Amino acid sequence: MTRDVKPLSKAERDAALQVARRDRRLKPLLSARYRVVLIEPNLHDIKRPAAEDVVLGLVDYEKGRSIVALVDLDGKKVVGVEETDAHFQLSDDEQREAEELAAKDARVRTFVGRRRVNPLTRLYFPAHAAVRARSHRFAIVFLRPSASERRYAVVDLSDRKVVQVLDSLVS
């Protein structure tokens, strides 16, 4: 039997965050530098087929971890917490942060001048990242001030800074 899953309301999203903030397993993470990048209905759980749980995806910037938490809104408790090797897509907040950092960078300002940055931002995995930086979370901001001009700002979201501005993506 397929259940009708609707997008979460703002109240449901807020309630899930409140429950998560009270959980003893998540408190240390939530007091550090983290960001919730995903809050969605749990679409399928074999053990709890009728449950209307919420899945939270969190990024721990200090330790470079991705965490998944399952929140039972009816029971007002966190059912499970797992670390995952998965890298969540950038949240809207992360995209905005990367774009703002890129737009303030002197190299980007020189390239763009008075034109609009017209950014397109995606999660990025630098090929030659140092071992220390592999646990960092990166975004790449495609700078498109005209139909024919491009630059690419690599933003380290963990350190909140632009680490490189590239003329092309091909070496």
CATH of domain 92-166: 3.10.450.40
Question: Mind giving me the DSSP string for 84-135?
Answer: ES--PPPPHHHHHHHHHHHHH-HHHHHHHTTS----EEEEE--TT--TGGGG
- Residue of 78, 170, 85, 171 whose CA lies nearest to 134: 85
> What whole-number distance in Å separates Cα of residue 39 and Cα of residue 54?
7
Average pLDDT over residues 7-32: 90
pLDDT at 2: 55
Predicted local distance difference test score (pLDDT) of residue 5: 67
Tell whether the model's pLDDT for residue 47 goes beyond 90.
no
More confident position, 28 or 145: 145
Cross-strand pairs, 18: none
Check whether 56 has a pLDDT greater than 90.
yes
pTM given for the model: 0.84
Contact 75, 132 (CB under 8 A): no
Rounded CA gap, 82 and 65, in Å? 10
Residue 123 to residue 33: CA distance in whole angstroms? 19
Segment 117-130 mean pLDDT: 87
At residue 28, the pLDDT reads 83
Residue 157 confidence (pLDDT) above 80 = yes
At 169, the pLDDT band (50, 70, 90 cuts) reads confident
Max Cα-Cα span within the chain: 58
Task: Supply angle C-alpha 167, 89, 25, rounded to 5.
Answer: 135
Model pLDDT for residues 60-78, shown as the tens digit of each residue: 988 888 999 999 999 999 9
Question: CATH 3.10.450.40 region(s) of the chain?
Answer: 92-166
Q: Are 82 and 141 in contact (CB under 8 A)?
A: no
Per-residue model confidence as pLDDT tens digits over 2-11: 556 678 999 9
Mean pLDDT over 91-99 rounds to 96
Higher pLDDT, 58 or 31: 58
Class of the CATH domain delimited by 10-84? alpha beta
C-alpha 25/C-alpha 71 separation (Å) is 12
Average pLDDT over residues 72-89: 94
For position 64, what pLDDT does the model report? 85
